[in-house]
Amino acid sequence: QDVLEQLRRVRSEKLKELQRHRKEEEERKRKKEEEERKRQKEEEERKRKKEEEAARQAKLEQERLEQEEAERQRKLAQEREAKLREEQQRQALARLQEAQEQAREKEEKRRAEEREREEKEREERERNELALHTQPSMTYNSTENK
């Protein structure tokens, strides 16, 4: 019976040893799985952060491009406005010069007419004076005849 008892004890100890080994193995397996989950979670977090940073950079780049385009459009609008003002000024200057030219021509014509009128008046006066001098005087003639 001692032998049987001893066998039972040995068998019981071996069973306990086996159970302990199994528990240790399960604990190692559980820890390994836990570590793997933790590693995957960290990897996913790194990946998520990387994607977020890439999205943030893309958004910044898009904003920069939009600002550049807005600036380009603003400059084009300024250039168009400047060209329009320049053209309007050019046209206004051309109208002014045309008006000045017409005014000058009108003034020249007026002066020419004035000179012509004065010349005719002078000639008329000279004719009248000449006629007075060349006409025999009535009083002179009448005294001559007497």
Domain boundaries, the chain: 2-123
Q: Mean of the pLDDT values across residues 109-116?
A: 97
The pLDDT of residue 146 is above 50: no
Of 97, 93, 94, the C-alpha closest to 105 is 97
* pLDDT band, residue 7 (cuts 50/70/90): confident
Burial of 12 per CB tally in 10 Å (0-12, 13-18, 19+): exposed
The whole-angstrom separation of Cα 18 and Cα 10 is 12
Count CA atoms closer than 13 A to 55's CA, side-chain side: 6
Lowest mean pLDDT among 4-8, 29-33, 53-57: 4-8
